[in-house]
Every structure is written in C-alpha cells, then in structure tokens.
Amino acid sequence: MSKESFLSSLEKIVGKDNILSAEIDRVAYSFSAYNIWSKPDFVIRPAYPEEVADILVECSKNGIPIVPRGNGTSLVGGPISSSGAIMSMRRMNSVLEVNPDDMTATVEAGVCLRELLKELPEDLFFPVDPDGLCLSTFGGMVAENSASPLSLFYGTVGESIMGLEVVTADGSIWELGATIPCEGKMEKLFIGTEGTLGVITKVKVRLRRRPLRLFGLTVDFSHVGDALDLYSRLSYRGELMLGYTIYYRDIFEVHLPDERLGARAYTIIPHEPHSLVEFIKELSEELEILQVDVLELDPRILPYWKGNTYLMENLKTTGKTVNFVSFTTNSDLLHEAVSRIDHVGARMKLNTVTIINPGLNWILTGFSYDSLDNKSRERAHKAVEMLAQSLEELGASFGYGTGVGFNMAGLKFKELDNEALYKKIKKVLDPSGIMNPGKVVLGD
C-alpha cells in the first residue's frame, strides 16, 4: 500500500485533522526533554480506544512502526520514533472517575498528573511526579514505571496501579485489573515495557492521603560520600522520610557556583523536624556538613524536584542539553558508581549531572553537551557507552524510574526478569514488530 493510501485509511479512522504529516508537525513531535530527537513520518491523534485499535490493525497490516506519546517529558527518549508513526494520546484526556471512598481514580492515558490533581479532594493526592512539573501523562508514567523522589516512601507508579485498559497490535481491547495494587497478573506485562507490547488507553490508580504537615530539609556537604553516609544513619535511626535525594557537583555549575559545595541532600519528612535537625547538626564536623536549612512546605502542593531548578537554570544559561542514564546498583556500590561517572566525565571532558536516591539504590546521571556541536554530541554519546560498560561491571540494571528509551536500548533492563520470555511474549502480542520497536531490547 502506498503512503497516500495508508494515510487515507487512517483519515477514515480519526479524521483528516488528526493526521499530521507537514514538516512543522513532524519537527514538533521529533523530540522529548533534553533534545533527544528523530522525526516521525507522521503523527496520529486518536480520541477513543476503538480508534487506537483500528490504527494498530492498519499499522500491523502495513508493517508501519508506531510509538505512543504523551507529553514528551521523557528524559531518555522514550516517545521518540526513528521511523513510522507517533501516536499522540493527548486527545484521550478525560478524568473518568474519582472515588474518594475507595481512594482511587480512573483516567484516560493522555491525562497529565496536573489535570488529575485539580480534580481531587484536598486530602488526597497522587505522589509520583517524574518530571517535577506534574506534566507527565499517566499512559507514559505506566509505560515507563516512573519514579520520583517520593518513590522512597510511595513506590513507583506501577505500585499504585489498580487496573489498565490496553490495546494490542491485533486490535484487541483488554480490561485488566485487580482489587489490590500489584496483586493483579496480566496488567504487569504492560507496566514498564514502554508501549512495546500494547498501547495503554486507560489507567486506574490508588490515591494517597496528603500528610497534614510537610518539611523540607536541605543539607549541604563538602563530599558526596558524606551525603550517602547521612542517609544510612537516618535510615538506621528509623527516621520516617518520604524522600531523600542527593544532587551532586556539576548540577550546581551555574545556579550555585560554590567551590566548597560537593553535594546537596534534600529530604522530605511529614513531622516536626527539630530533633532531626539537632541530630544532623551533631554530625556536622564528622560528615563535613556545611549548612542545614529547614522549610515548612504546603502539603497541598506536590513537593517539587529541587534538582530540576538547578538543572534547568544550568542548561538555560549554558545552552547545553544532557544525555541521561538511569540505573540501580547495590547500596554498597553507590559511591563507586559515582566515582565511575566522574571518571568518564573527566576523560571525555564533559560535565556530569548526577541525582542520587540512595534509599532506592537509584542514580540518574548524564553528560551535558552542546547539541549544536557535533563533536560535543559525539563525545556525550560515547560517554554514555563507556559509562554503561563500566556500570555493567558493577552489576547495574538500567531504566529504573525512566524506562530505557533511545539512550539505553540494548542494556540490561531493570523491568525484565527474563529477556528471552519477554521476546516470546512480544512475538505473540506484536507479531509484526510494530510496537515501539528497539526500545526495551535491541532486536525485539
């Protein structure tokens, strides 16, 4: 079938206005956060699960690759298509139900977190905010099994899933779910596999009670090892922390150019902080703590990713972007992992951007570069390859909290217990190989 005939068949499904193939539209859908980009051949904008089903059938018949996309907030190029079509889910943007008694909400896949939060009673919220701006869509968050700093206490998005509606490549529409989060069966196949097995069209999530009070503690250190040590001591002490995140080194290059500042830890607690602050201050000399600040937060507002402020200010001022890698490793290897990041950055003459969540054994790191400079971009890609090889020696798994996307395709994926089994399931659910090909496992 010719391209014109194929597009004509899609127009019959969603209407001419919802097929975008002009150059300006292809460019608009060619990138995600931080300038990872590749132009799709065209963009399709369905509004109903039945339209999604018909689109997938047509793509399967014609061997056209298709990538679901929400708001494009992925750090690792999740919604990027190297060829074929982008399926934009943003027309599927209804909050279908909020049940305060059951503490659940059901939304279409194109609903972003901010839109749901506006519909919730004041005492309820959804705690995982992967982009720090409440702009990520629920379809994308489930597909990537997203995490954020509050995942220390509340878990990843996948741990709050009560049910999914999923459309597979043959046009089947499946209602999958359980009465208890994570106790279902089939829906787990679609959590964290990045749209490679099916398109998520509806999500039912468990909501949480808002804490009555929230406090944010900022602790500055000379050395990142001391920030890691403080987390261990607070955890051993039994301190209740909703989040504990360490922002490391070059992330402060512009925003806080203080040569003494080696790392900044930010922890969120749901209780009066006086005793905790005193405990931390007692360790000031031993851990080379430079400063401790406390701020009471508004519990009605989802705590912001502090690192995003530093990072965005840095990138906006320098005009650079970042190639990110997300991974987990054993807790006793976190410091060694940071050292290896530093080594690769120094060798490739690139600044590093590193955010550490020690309670999750999770590090999100990247190399900043000038996206308009081909040599700089090539060094950043080479740095990612070098780092991945070095981290694999530590037994790291990749993609936690972000998915794998373009950046980490082919690496050991955190969500996969069995790569061979995944490939067999992929073959059954997507025999034509059209669903976001190459993202989770190369050659999938």
pLDDT at 190: 92
Q: What is the mean pLDDT of residues 291-313?
A: 78
Q: What is the mean pLDDT of residues 427-439?
A: 89
pLDDT grade for 119, boundaries at 50, 70 and 90 = very high
pLDDT for the residue numbered 441: 60
Mean pLDDT of 59-65: 94
Higher pLDDT, 182 or 136: 136
* Residue bearing the bigger pLDDT, 187 or 233: 233
Summarised one tens digit per residue, pLDDT across range 186-205 is 888 899 888 999 999 999 99
Q: What percentage of residues in the chain have a pLDDT greater than 70?
A: 89
All structural domains of the chain:
3-90 (3.30.43.10), 95-209 (3.30.465.10), 214-398 (3.40.462.10)
254-284, pLDDT tens digit by residue? 555 566 788 999 999 999 999 999 999 999 9
C-alpha 119/C-alpha 22 separation (Å) is: 36
Residue bearing the bigger pLDDT, 51 or 259: 51
Per-residue pLDDT, averaged over 218-236, amounts to: 95
pLDDT at 39 over 60: yes
Backbone angle region of 338, left / alpha / beta, with phi > 0 → left and psi within -120 to 50 → alpha = alpha
Reply yes or no on whether the pLDDT at 97 is more than 60. yes
- Identity at 303, one-letter amino acid code: P
- Among the ranges given (285-294, 314-323, 388-397), the one the predictor scored with the smallest mean pLDDT: 314-323
pLDDT digits (tens, 9 = 90+) for 121-178: 999 999 999 888 888 999 999 999 999 889 999 999 999 999 999 999 999 999 998 6
Examine the pLDDT at 302 and tell me if it is beyond 90.
no
Distance CA 366, CA 420 (A): 29
The pLDDT value given to residue 257? 58
Dist. CA 359–CA 148, nearest whole Å: 12
What is residue 140's predicted lDDT score, i.e. its pLDDT? 94
**pLDDT score, position 258:** 63
Judged by average pLDDT, the poorest of 17-31, 69-83, 298-312, 325-339 is 298-312
Q: Is the pLDDT of residue 443 over 80?
A: no
Asked if residue 252 has pLDDT above 60, the reply is yes
Edge-to-edge strands of the sheet including 352-357? 289-297, 214-221, 263-269, 243-248, 352-357, 362-369, 321-328, 397-398
Most confident of 49-53, 69-73, 310-314, 392-396: 49-53
Residue 112's pLDDT is 96
- Hunting for tokens 């992967």 — which residue is that? 130
Q: How much of the chain, in percent, has pLDDT values that exceed 90?
A: 60
Task: With a cut of 70, say whether residue 184 has pLDDT above it.
Answer: no
CA distances from 407 to 32, 114, 338 (A): 12, 27, 19
pLDDT at 180: 55
Q: How do strand 397-398 and strand 321-328 relate by DSSP bridges?
A: antiparallel
Name which of 57-71, 102-116, 410-424 the model is least confident about: 410-424
